[in-house]
């Protein structure tokens, strides 16, 4: 299978497409792509069109494919076919630094950042508005040894508009379980670098909902975790590790809050959120039944 990529790269149509995207750097692009494939024994078996398409997507967004840099990755993933066999495809995935770079390039951001939140760093939470006050630990040595309880992303635009999104560690775990097949099976980036994926996720969710999105950022959200199946038709995509194409950050947040509610107070807090619609009532009722049954047993 490894020779199939080399053969594909010699195809005139593919060579023309590469030259359209990277211009005079086509030769370097081709060489580096072969090196990327050969450096990953799982990627060697991946469908070659998806490898080239993933690399071209990274090039279009001007994000380097270097695992050590953390901007973008090509990840092999086995996708189940209609005949119950599996085809290994290359999945394009953006890292936390990739989303950060794309946002800053738009020229609309004054500040953008994402960080973990440690135990004791939440000083107060307004149960009505959902606003949270943080008191971060200054000593890095102490902070490094303190348990991580969540992740927060923040940005401020040049026009002074600002927003943030906080997800607890349990909410992030629920997200990974829901949207990543590899995480549920114990491998992949969610398993090998949970913190990095958590930072990327909370930043992506915040930007996709609250920030002005440049064309590059819109494409980043669209192609992140996608297998691009056709080099010419970039809309021919699938999400082998994440079957949900569109993610509504507010809807996902409410679903996670309901499912991870540990007390009646937690559930009441969710009910007060302005994003709660009738669609969530069945889920809330199920959780309420759990608490009613628990209270009955305690009585």
Long-range CB contacts for residues 290-297, cutoff 8 Å, separation at least 24: 291/263, 291/264, 291/267, 295/264
**Dist. CA 200–CA 184, nearest whole Å:** 19
> Is the alpha carbon torsion for 84, 89, 95, 98 positive or negative?
negative
Contact of 119 with 142, CB cutoff 8 Å: no
In this prediction, residue 109 carries a pLDDT of 96
Q: Contact 240/227 with Cβ under 8 angstroms?
A: yes
Closest CA to 92 of 68, 65, 111, 112: 65
pLDDT at 14: 92
pLDDT at 1: 41
Q: What is the distance between the terminal CA atoms of the chain, rounded to a whole angstrom? A: 64
pLDDT at 138: 95
Look up residue 107 and give its DSSP letter.
T
pLDDT in tens, the chain (299 residues): 447 899 999 999 999 999 999 998 999 999 999 999 888 888 888 899 999 999 999 999 999 998 888 899 998 888 778 888 888 888 899 999 999 999 999 999 999 999 999 999 999 988 767 789 999 999 999 999 999 999 999 999 999 999 999 999 999 998 888 888 778 878 778 888 899 999 999 999 999 888 988 899 988 988 998 888 878 777 788 887 776 544 555 677 777 778 777 788 888 888 887 778 888 888 899 888 888 887 776 66
In 3D, which of 246, 257, 249 has the Cα closest to residue 171?
257
Token pair belonging to 293: 């049954």
Q: Write down the pLDDT at residue 299.
A: 60
How far apart (Å, rounded) are the C-alpha atoms in residues 189 and 193? Answer: 5
Beta strands in the chain (DSSP E): 72-80, 86-94, 109-118, 122-125, 132-134, 148-157, 162-168, 227-228, 237-238
Threshold 0.85, pTM exceeds: no
């Amino acid at each position: 299978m490894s020779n199939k990529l080399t053969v594909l790269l010699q195809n005139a149509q593919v060579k023309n497409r590469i030259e359209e995207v990277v211009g005079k750097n086509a030769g370097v692009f081709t060489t580096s792509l072969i090196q990327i494939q050969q450096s990953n024994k799982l990627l060697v078996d991946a469908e070659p069109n998806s490898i080239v398409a993933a690399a071209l997507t990274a090039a279009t967004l001007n994000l380097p494919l270097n695992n050590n840099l953390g901007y973008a990755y090509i990840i092999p993933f086995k996708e189940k076919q209609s005949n119950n066999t599996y085809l290994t495809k290359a999945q394009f995935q953006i890292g936390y630094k990739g989303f950060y770079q794309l946002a800053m390039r738009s020229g609309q951001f004054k500040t953008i950042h994402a960080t973990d939140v440690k135990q004791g760093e939440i000083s107060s939470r307004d149960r009505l508005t959902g606003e949270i006050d943080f008191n971060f630990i200054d000593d890095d040595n102490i902070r490094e040894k303190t348990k991580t309880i969540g992740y927060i992303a923040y940005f401020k635009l040049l026009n002074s508009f600002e927003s943030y999104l906080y997800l607890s560690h349990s909410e992030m775990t629920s997200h990974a379980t829901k949207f990543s097949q590899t995480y549920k099976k114990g491998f992949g980036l969610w398993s090998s670098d949970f913190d990095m994926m958590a930072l990327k996720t909370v930043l992506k969710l915040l930007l996709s909902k609250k920030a002005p999105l440049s064309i590059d950022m819109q494409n980043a959200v669209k192609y992140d975790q996608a297998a691009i199946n056709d080099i010419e038709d970039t809309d021919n995509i699938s999400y082998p590790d994440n079957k949900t194409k569109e993610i509504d950050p507010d809807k996902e947040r409410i679903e996670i809050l309901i499912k991870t509610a540990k007390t009646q107070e937690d559930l009441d807090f969710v009910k007060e959120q302005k994003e709660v619609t009738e669609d969530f009532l069945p889920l809330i009722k199920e959780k309420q039944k759990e608490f009613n049954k628990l209270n009955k047993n305690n009585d």
